[in-house]
Amino acid sequence: MSGANPQSQSVRWRVGRARFLLFLPIGLLLSGFCIFLLMDEQPLALVPLGVFLLLTAWAVAGLIWPPELDISVAGLRYTKWGKPRSFCWNEIEGPTRGPTFGSGTTLKLVIKATGQNLSLAPSLFGCTYEEVADIINDARAGRLTTSAMWRRGHRARGSLNRFG
């Protein structure tokens, strides 16, 4: 989900909460089953119980704080689990292509001061690598392009590819 944010002149994407809502009942159901096995004195149930409780905690955290990506002419802000990280354009290098998975190509940015790689999956936000990379490059150049504007231009040329 994306859109221009008129207050801060930025393009914001947020991962849909439904993605996390799917895992919540599964994690709770499987955790309950492991607790039932523990009551029957099956100590091996502790291992999957820990895994299922982590899955449930991940789903709850995603429901409360879904990941967000904000791109503006001033820089980039990425929020994961409620912890925002902001960077000015002169603090980061990229975007470059990262590894490609079944859901698409990841976007890699390098933080100049630390050399740390920031890897983002545009497919989480319903975008392709090309879309986010072009929007970042336009923002660096001082032009704010929304996803809708980018898609209109690429659909007209017939070059819209969902899996980047």
Residue pLDDT tens, the chain, 164 long: 445 444 458 889 888 888 888 888 888 888 888 888 888 888 888 889 888 888 888 888 888 999 999 999 999 999 988 899 999 999 999 899 988 887 788 899 999 999 999 888 888 888 889 999 999 999 999 998 888 888 888 775 555 554 44
C-alpha distances (whole Å) from 68 to each of 32, 44, 51, 141, 160 are: 32, 38, 26, 22, 23
Query: 109, 125, 128, 126: which is closest to 117 by C-alpha?
Result: 109
pTM: 0.74
Which residues are 86's β-sheet partners?
Answer: 77
Q: Which CATH class is domain 67-157?
A: mainly beta
Provide the token pair at 25.
């009942």
User: What residues contact residue 52 under an 8 Å CB cut-off, 6+ apart?
Assistant: 27, 30, 31, 34
β-bridge pairing 117-120 and 92-101: unpaired
Q: Where are the domains of the chain?
A: 18-64, 67-157
